[in-house]
């Protein structure tokens, strides 16, 4: 399968209709999706946003102790210092806000990676981005003594960027360039290598291990109110950058030569997408740990709903990803009550079968 193949269609097939991918979603990937018209896609996005609001409410109410919606309102509007108010304000609210921000960041980062690389298997976890951010955070904690988000978020972003570049360069070696399977294998190798470095560092330093062991699983319980506030600007910038790239990603899906002919500055698109991925994946990993498969699964769900138009895939990923993450977190709270399963475990259990199915589909497409 060449780099020109996107969702089973070549750039030549996408050009057959005589319109650019920015104007014709079929040119950017072939599938129209379940919702074919702009009005119904907009309505679907409104419905998805309503489901997200329901997931937010469920995240605030559900857990070892269930609360009523009135309790949440009173904790926010008329804080009295009671145990209920403290749990809601200092635990449930930051946890839910972390799920919203980290989910949106991971969903958009995955959609951007799939669009820029034209690789259906691209994901911050699979391509080693999360592992790069994780090893950088370990270095920040163990070597430099950094313990605050504003301190190690820069390390997480730098590690994410370096891992992305290395995986792409390794995956591009040999015949065929950076094919999806080669990139997935390079990302798996990078993740394994960096994971061993992380394990060695934490085993040699007990204090680093204590700081790191809950973070590495992937959890929404780590961030506090101040940390959420510190992370918000990074995520907001990444979201804005992502959403403005939708039309350019449609054109890039047609192939670099045609995209350039249509006026797309391919180099700048990749640079801006790389900055957005670094901000989004790095901040999400710094906040919640290396949560996998959200960035892989959600863009595929969005593509199944709205087709291959990134002007819609990106907004849908922005809404669907935090919904998935919050629902997974609620499931983790309830299945082993009064204990909890961290959200990273739940998303891995859901995402691993999906990844296997996607790899099998890509390998069959190459035969």
Each residue's pLDDT tens digit in the chain (367 positions)? 333 333 433 333 343 334 444 444 444 444 567 787 777 899 999 999 999 999 999 999 998 889 999 999 998 888 888 888 999 999 999 999 999 999 999 999 999 999 988 888 788 887 888 889 888 888 887 788 777 766 777 888 888 888 888 888 888 887 777 676 787 788 889 988 988 888 787 777 776 666 666 667 788 887 788 888 888 999 999 999 999 999 999 998 888 888 888 888 888 888 898 889 888 988 898 888 888 889 988 999 999 899 999 999 999 999 999 999 999 999 999 998 888 888 988 988 887 787 777 667 655 454 4
Contact 124, 277 (CB under 8 A): yes
Q: How many domains does the chain have?
A: 1
Residue 79 dihedral angles phi and psi, to the nearest 5°: -70, 125
Contact 6, 309 (CB under 8 A): no
**Residue 3 counted as domain residue:** no
pLDDT, residue 332, reads: 92
* CA 347/CA 319 separation, integer angstroms: 17
**Residue 66 counted as domain residue:** yes
pLDDT, residue 211, reads: 64
pLDDT, residue 25, reads: 46
Closest CA to 287 of 341, 233, 355, 352: 233
pLDDT, residue 52, reads: 97
ω into residue 338 within 30 of 0, thus cis? yes
The size of the chain, in residues, is: 367
Q: Global pTM? A: 0.83
Task: Print the domain residue range for 332.
Answer: 23-366
In the 8-state DSSP scheme, what is residue 89?
I
pLDDT, residue 29, reads: 43
**Residue 302 counted as domain residue:** yes
Cα dist from 33 to 25, 110, 282, whole Å:
10, 19, 31
**Residue 1 counted as domain residue:** no
CA atoms within 13 A on the CB side of 5: 16
**Residue 133 counted as domain residue:** yes
DSSP 3-state of 15: helix
CB atoms within 10 A of CB 171: 24
Residue 316: CATH number of its domain = 1.10.3470.10
**Residue 140 counted as domain residue:** yes
**Residue 305 counted as domain residue:** yes
**Residues contacting 120, CB < 8 A, separation 6+:** 7, 114, 180, 300, 358, 362
pLDDT, residue 158, reads: 86
What is the b/e burial string over 285-315, where b = at least 16 CB atoms within 10 angstroms of the residue's CB? Answer: bbbbbbbbbbbbbbbbbbbebbbbbbbbbbb
Closest CA to 272 of 283, 280, 262: 280
The radius of gyration of the chain's CA atoms, rounded to the nearest angstrom, is 20
CA atoms within 13 A on the CB side of 45: 18
């Amino acid at each position: 399968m060449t780099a020109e193949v996107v969702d089973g269609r070549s750039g030549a097939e996408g050009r057959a209709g005589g319109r650019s991918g920015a104007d014709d979603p079929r040119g950017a990937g072939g599938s129209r999706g379940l919702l074919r018209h702009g009005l119904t896609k907009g309505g679907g996005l409104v419905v998805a946003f309503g489901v997200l609001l329901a997931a937010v409410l469920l995240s605030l109410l559900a857990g070892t102790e269930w609360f009523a919606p009135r309790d949440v309102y009173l904790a926010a509007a008329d804080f009295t210092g009671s145990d209920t108010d403290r749990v809601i304000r200092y635990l449930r609210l930051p946890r839910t806000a972390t799920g919203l921000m980290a989910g949106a960041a991971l969903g958009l980062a995955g959609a951007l990676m799939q669009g820029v690389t034209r690789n259906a298997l691209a994901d911050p976890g699979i391509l080693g981005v999360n592992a790069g951010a994780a090893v950088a955070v370990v270095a920040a904690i163990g070597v430099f003594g950094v313990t605050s988000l504003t301190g190690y978020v820069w390390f997480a972003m730098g590690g994410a960027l370096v891992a992305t570049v290395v995986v792409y360069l390794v995956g591009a070696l040999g015949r065929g360039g950076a094919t999806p399977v080669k990139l997935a294998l390079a990302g798996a190798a990078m993740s394994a290598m960096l994971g061993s470095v992380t394990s060695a560092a934490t085993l040699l330093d007990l204090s680093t291990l204590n700081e790191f062991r809950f973070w590495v699983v992937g959890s929404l319980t780590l961030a506090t109110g101040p940390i959420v506030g510190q992370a918000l600007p990074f995520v907001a910038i990444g979201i804005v950058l992502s959403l403005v790239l939708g039309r350019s990603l449609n054109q890039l899906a047609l192939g670099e030569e045609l995209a350039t002919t249509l006026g797309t500055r391919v180099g700048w698109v990749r640079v801006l997408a790389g900055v957005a991925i670094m901000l989004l994946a790095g901040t999400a990993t710094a906040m919640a740990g290396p949560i996998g498969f959200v960035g892989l699964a959600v863009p595929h769900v969005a593509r199944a709903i709205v087709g291959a138009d990134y002007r819609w895939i990106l907004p849908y990923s922005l809404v669907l990803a935090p919904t998935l993450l919050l629902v997974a977190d609620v499931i983790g709270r309830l299945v082993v009550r009064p204990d909890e399963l961290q959200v990273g475990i739940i998303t891995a259990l859901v995402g691993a079968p999906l990844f296997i199915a996607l790899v099998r589909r890509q390998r069959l497409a190459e035969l």
